[in-house]
């Protein structure tokens, strides 16, 4: 009887000690994308995603296009996306996580002034099947973290919320301009992010941001519109992270990879942009990006990233209709 009494508390402690969003699933191949207009049924790439047999699918925002304050309409738009027969097949066998951007948040370029953000968050989490006991359900915003393993290696996927707490954009005409004091994440999310990045058990961090972190020369949404937040992210990276970290972003309806060296951080920082799943630019224009090392791919696409845990490298492919590979790159840390 004494042995039984001792074992039970140990089991209980082990369960309580699991990190936020711990999943007993091995992950080495991740597919991800953004910007999927639910009405473009024939343009969807779900068959192609399934053909790549990923362990995990990550939504990076604009799961649907539903700029509205009518929650019945928003739910109907999510239902239309979810009920696509090929997406139904995908979620049968592939784990799905994700965050939002502006069009599934409910307002184009929307931030904290969107009045239905709490109701919208619930519909997002319902679509993603975020469990009722997940810590993300108990706080404001849509940020989440999930931990996976592969043969003893730990992967942490951090899904940021760049909408719920974000200050309004500053404009010159139709162009966004930097706001030196504006905020994206908000105090509580920053505190949470620091905790997540302080996890010494993690071997690779994947941070999902709906908007681009590194690209800075275009006039659209980006971290560069809030320079103090961008520098805060870099400082946190240099201070807390001792292993490779890669950023995944969407929003722009292009595929490209950006790379930067961050002072105080021992690894190159990559930002892999994958957008859009169903539609892209109506015409090609010149867009400078001093950090670009792959792309610009202006075609409907998703991205597959396969992790080589032994070499700690990433094989990245931009993939389109009929599983055509548009471009690819091996990232070594």
Query: Which ranges of the chain would DSSP assign to H, the alpha helix?
Result: 2-17, 46-51, 71-82, 85-93, 102-105, 117-128, 187-197, 227-240
Count of C-beta atoms within a 10 Å radius of residue 216: 19
pLDDT score of 19? 66
Count of C-beta atoms within a 10 Å radius of residue 219: 14
pLDDT score of 14? 33
Domains in the chain with CATH codes? 23-332 (3.60.21.70)
pLDDT score of 291? 98
The DSSP result for 284-332, as a single string, is: ------TTEEEEEE-SS-EEEEEEETTTTEEEEEEE-GGG-EEEEEEEE
Q: Is the pTM of this model over 0.85?
A: yes
pLDDT score of 132? 93
Rounded CA separation 2/81 (Å): 54
Q: pLDDT per position in the chain (333 positions), as tens?
A: 334 333 333 333 333 345 687 887 899 999 999 999 999 999 999 999 999 999 999 999 999 999 999 999 999 999 999 999 999 999 999 999 999 999 999 999 999 999 999 999 999 999 999 999 999 999 999 999 999 999 999 999 999 999 999 999 999 998 999 999 999 999 999 999 999 999 999 999 999 999 999 999 999 999 999 999 999 999 999 999 999 999 999 999 999 999 999 999 999 999 999 999 999 999 888 999 999 999 999 999 999 999 999 999 999 999 999 999 999 999 999
Contact 223, 231 (CB under 8 A): no
pLDDT score of 1? 39
Rounded CA separation 113/166 (Å): 8
Contact 251, 221 (CB under 8 A): yes
In sequence order, the 6+-apart residues with CB closer than 8 A to the CB of 250 are 33, 34, 35, 60, 61, 62, 101, 210, 211, 273, 274, 275, 276
Contact 210, 101 (CB under 8 A): yes
Contact 312, 333 (CB under 8 A): yes
Contact 236, 194 (CB under 8 A): yes
């Amino acid at each position: 009887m004494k042995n039984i009494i001792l074992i039970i508390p140990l089991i209980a402690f082990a369960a309580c000690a699991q990190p936020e969003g711990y999943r007993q699933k091995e992950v080495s191949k991740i597919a991800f994308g953004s910007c999927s207009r639910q009405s473009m049924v024939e343009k969807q790439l779900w068959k192609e995603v399934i053909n790549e047999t990923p362990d995990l699918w990550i939504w990076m925002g604009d799961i649907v296009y539903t700029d509205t304050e009518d929650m019945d309409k928003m739910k109907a738009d999510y239902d239309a996306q979810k009920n696509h027969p090929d997406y139904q097949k995908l979620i049968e066998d592939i784990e799905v996580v994700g965050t939002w951007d502006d069009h599934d948040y409910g307002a184009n370029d929307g931030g904290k002034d969107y009045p239905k953000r709490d109701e919208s968050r619930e519909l997002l989490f319902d679509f993603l099947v975020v469990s009722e006991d997940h810590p993300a359900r108990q706080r404001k915003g849509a940020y989440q973290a999930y931990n996976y393993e592969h043969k003893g290696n730990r992967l942490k996927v951090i899904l940021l919320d760049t909408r719920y707490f974000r200050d309004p954009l500053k404009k010159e005409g139709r162009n966004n301009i930097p706001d030196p004091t504006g905020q994206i994440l908000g105090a509580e999310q920053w505190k949470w992010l620091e905790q997540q990045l302080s996890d010494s058990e993690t071997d690779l961090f994947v941070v999902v941001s709906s908007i681009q972190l590194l690209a800075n020369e275009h006039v659209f949404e980006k971290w560069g519109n809030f320079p103090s937040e961008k520098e805060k992210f870099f400082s946190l990276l240099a201070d807390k992270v001792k292993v490779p970290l890669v950023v995944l972003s969407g929003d722009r309806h292009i595929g490209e990879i950006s790379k930067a060296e961050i002072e105080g951080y021992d690894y190159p920082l990559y930002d892999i942009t994958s957008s859009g799943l169903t539609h892209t630019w109506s015409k090609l224009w010149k867009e400078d990006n001093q950090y670009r090392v792959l792309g610009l791919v202006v075609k409907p696409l998703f991205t597959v990233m396969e992790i080589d845990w032994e070499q700690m490298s990433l094989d990245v492919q931009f993939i389109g209709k009929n599983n055509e590979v548009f471009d690819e790159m091996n990232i070594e840390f």
